[in-house]
Amino acid sequence: MKEKIGIVDTLEERKPYITRKQEKGQEIPLACDNNSLAGAISQRACVYSGARVVLNPVTDAVHLVHGPIGCAGYTWDIRGAKSSGIETNRTSFSTDMKEIDVVFGGEKKLSSAIDELVELYHPPVIFVYSTCIVGIIGDDLESVCKTASQKHNIHVIPVKSEGFKGNKSDGYKAACDALKRLIKRPSEDEIKKKGPRVPDNIKPKINILGDFNVAGDVWLVKPLFEQMGIEVIVSMTGDSTAKAISRAAEADLNLVQCSGSMTYLAKWMQTEYGIPYLNASFFGIEDISLALRRTADYFGSEKMRERADRILEAEINRIMPEISRVRERVKGKKAAIYMGGPAKALTLIKGFAELGMEVVIIGTQTGKKEDYEQISYSVRDGTVIVDDANPLELAELLIRQKADLMVAGVKERFIAYKLGIAFCDFNHDRVVEFEGFDGFVNFAREVDASISSPVWKAVKERILKPEAVESEQKLGKIEKVAVKDMTSGENYAKECKGMLLKPELLHQKSEAAVESQV
């Protein structure tokens, strides 16, 4: 075994979570899927956050946070998930627990809050999220929700998301458990009928799992399947409604995009209702093509496969000129990826390859062992792979790996900017679609704009410091010229002590200076 050399300066306990791909195909022993280290400043959030980001795009639901105000306040409209209709999900609801509720229990307040919100909003479903406090004081959410469900004859579903009970992944699971309760159970006959081959005269049905319609992504994806003659029942949870989710078990197939959050639900639907699933990604030319072709192959229909090929040919021809143009501009640049989930990280590797770029750092908040294995197969030797990174590690890695661009979320954005490195947001914050064919064009353009902006040139040019000027003078690089030529101000002249710079020497490239700081 090769001797492990420290990749970045970090805490001893963090070292197993950072590795470098050494040889092609080699399995990497990366530690992952653990709780974050105290004091390490993880970029992760909590269980509640995991549940919230998965469920929040359900557009007509009341998302009621049972806890103190903070939890609801910071996650208000957090996803940037677009809706084609009602937008109840963008309103923040909380029981705003106070000290007295913590002492005497919050069940009464919760059930009164539910009553009020039903009266005001008439929602088809209320998701009641539990927060840290609820887990500690032991409010019985299950029974409060059950009573409210019966009283109002709507779904009132507890989401078991106490912040401290695990990490973000456990929140995904809690969200899936809540979705499970919404999905209507089909009859035994219907379950038996599920099979891979659907006759040509029947329109097959699918669900998309793990697409959250950030910036309207789903709207660029759904039509592709519809053109193939497939009905998309629901996308979970982007632009979904309680009613559409309840019909999910009618599907013949589930396509899972965000594997981290939705594989659990897909597996459950397979065991319970006999609905198989395929992993898919709608980002990047290769992955979209795979998604369409594999779906067609699954249904075993020649006609559908032909349609898929026709769509792909037409779409790829349509966007290739623009992709090629960008590729010429950005090829050879080095990218760093730090994502919440591993599926997005994996598909981004291919996306960058299509733009002629190389990935030099790849990390996720919630990857599991098999995800990192998959990642290690997909990246080149020397690429740094990191789990649950923190700001100091990211900053040092960006410099050491000489990244030109980072793709991540808001907390990482300013780390990159402060280092003079381009950044592209692939999280809740973006306002343009990145999925589908036009989405990939958007992505390519944004990568180009991020890398090619002249600001990075300005950032790399430093004004010479006085001491640097002196040393340059000693080396004879800068001429000494009489003071009077430079400025008429006597005081200024005195300060400058005879140093005069040629205008072109006022700036120097000092990438080396940045590096030396690490």
Partner 1 sequence: MTKRNYATVNPCVMCQPMGSALAFKGIENTMVLYHGSQGCSTYMRLLLAHHFREPVDIASSSLSEKGAVYGGRENLKKGLRNVINRYNPKVIGVATTCLAETIGDDVPAIIREFKEEQEIGDDPEKDIIIIPVSTPSYGESHVSGYIKALDAVVRKFTEKTEEEKSVKIPNGKLNVIPVESLSPADVRELKEIFDVMAGDYIFLPDISETFDAPLREDLPKIAPGGTPLSEIADMPNSRASLGLGTVSKNLAVKYLEESHGVPGYDVPIPIGLSNTDLFFTELVKIIGCPIPEKYQKERGRLLDAMVDVHKYLYGVKAAVYGDPDFVFSLTTFMLELGINPVLIATGSKSRDFEAKIRQIVEKINPELEPEVLNGIDFDTLNDAVSQCNPEVLIGNSNGRYIAKSRNIPLVRVGLPIHDRVGVQRILNIGYRGAMELLDRITNTILEATDTFTAPVQTEPAAYTEKKSEKECVEGMR
Q: Which region holds residue 282: left if phi is over 0, alpha if psi is between -120 and 50, else beta?
A: alpha
Cβ nearer to partner 1, comparing 46 with 326: 46
Q: Which is nearer to partner 1, 75 or 383 (CB)?
A: 75
Residue 346 C-beta: closest distance to partner 1, Å: 23
- Of residues 97 and 209, the one with the C-beta less far from partner 1: 97
Least distance CB 452 / partner 1 (angstroms): 19
Q: In the complex with partner 1, which residue's Cβ is closer, 64 or 346?
A: 64
Minimum CB distance to partner 1, residue 459 (Å): 6
Q: Closest separation between CB of residue 416 and partner 1, Å?
A: 9
C-beta of 174 vs 251, nearer to partner 1: 174
Q: Least distance (Å) from partner 1 to the CB of residue 499?
A: 21
Q: How many CB atoms lie within 10 A of CB 74?
A: 12
Our CB check for partner 1 shows the closer of 293 and 413 to be 413
Q: Following CA atoms 211, 213, 217, 221 in sequence, which dihedral angle do they give, to the nearest 10 degrees?
A: 60
Residue 381 is classified by DSSP as T
CB of 190 to partner 1, least distance (A): 39
Q: Could you give the residue ranges of the DSSP H alpha helices within 12-140? A: 47-55, 69-74, 99-104, 107-121, 132-137
DSSP secondary structure, 287-330, as one string = HHHHHHHHHHHHHT-HHHHHHHHHHHHHHHHHHHHHHHHHHHHH
Other beta carbons less than 10 A from residue 471's beta carbon = 12
- Which residue type, as a one-letter code, is found at position 79? R
Instruction: Tell me how far, at minimum, the Cβ of 378 lies from partner 1, in Å.
Output: 28
Shortest reach from residue 440's CB to partner 1, in Å: 27
Nearer to partner 1, 418 or 497 (CB): 418
CA atoms within 13 A on the CB side of 335: 32
| Nearer residue to partner 1 within complex by CB, 449 or 481 | 449
Beta strands in 384-503 (DSSP E): 384-387, 405-408, 422-425, 461-463
Which residue, 246 or 364, has its beta carbon nearer to partner 1? 364
Residue 110 Cβ, how far from partner 1 at the closest point, in Å?
8
Q: Which is nearer to partner 1, 102 or 500 (CB)?
A: 102
CB 68, min distance to partner 1, A: 4
Distance separating alpha carbons of residues 63 and 60, to the nearest angstrom: 9
Angle between helical axes of 436-452 and 302-330 (0-180°, round to 10)? 10
Compute how many other C-beta atoms are within 10 angstroms of the C-beta atom of residue 96.
Answer: 18
Tokens of 173: 């699971």
Q: Assess contact for 350 and 377: CB atoms under 8 A.
A: no
Residue 50 Cβ vs partner 1, minimum distance, rounded to whole Å: 9
Rounded to 5 degrees, what are φ and ψ at 176?
Answer: -60, -40
Instruction: CB nearer to partner 1: give 16 or 229.
Output: 16
Phi and psi at residue 334, to the nearest 5°: -105, 130
Helix axes 168-182, 47-55, angle to 10 degrees: 40
* One-letter amino acid for residue 359 of the chain: V
Total Cβ atoms within 10 A of residue 393: 26
Cα separation, 389 vs 50, whole angstroms: 17
